């Protein structure tokens, strides 16, 4: 299964990182409008380190869960192969094609973030 589109939060360093990665994978990126009642994304990937989640991101997660939209949290400081495999399994089992990807700006300096996305680049998630 392929990701058709990635949604991002506007004006963040993390979103700039995701945009750059997605462009290299030829996946379209669009800013997510949190004010719309209809969610454009059919899934949410929340990336964190050591289970630390910013309050505003946690509120978005709860909003998705309340509306029964599939969510997945990935800790980039966990086992890389498990994170990549579990995300693939989640994506396929929930048939998510348009995914909102969120994370804190302080993740940019975490080398495991690069490792996670390099691993993801080698999977069927991003194959065209």
- Domains, the chain, in order of start with CATH, read 5-121 (3.40.50.450)
Beta-carbon contacts of residue 56 (< 8 Å; ≥ 6 apart): none
Mean pLDDT by 10 residues, the chain (128 residues): 86 94 92 72 92 88 92 91 90 92 94 92 65
> What pLDDT is stored for residue 47 in this prediction?
94
- Extract the runs of DSSP E, i.e. beta strands, from 9-118: 29-31, 43-48, 71-75, 98-103
pLDDT of residue 10: 87
What pLDDT, on a 0 to 100 scale, did the predictor assign at position 128? Answer: 42
Specify whether the CB–CB gap between 126 and 32 falls below 8 A. no
């Amino acid at each position: 299964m392929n990701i058709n589109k990635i949604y991002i939060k506007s004006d963040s360093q993390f979103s700039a990182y995701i945009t750059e990665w997605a462009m290299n994978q030829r996946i379209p990126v669009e800013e997510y409008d949190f004010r719309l009642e209809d969610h454009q994304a059919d899934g949410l990937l929340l990336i964190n380190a050591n289970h630390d989640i910013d309050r505003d991101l946690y509120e978005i997660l709860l909003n998705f869960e309340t509306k029964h939209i599939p969510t997945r949290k990935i800790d980039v400081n966990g086992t890389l192969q498990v994170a990549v495999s579990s995300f693939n399994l989640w994506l396929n089992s929930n048939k998510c094609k348009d995914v909102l990807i969120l994370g804190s700006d302080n993740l940019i300096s975490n080398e495991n973030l690069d490792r996670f996305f390099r691993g993801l680049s080698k999977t069927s998630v991003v194959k065209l």
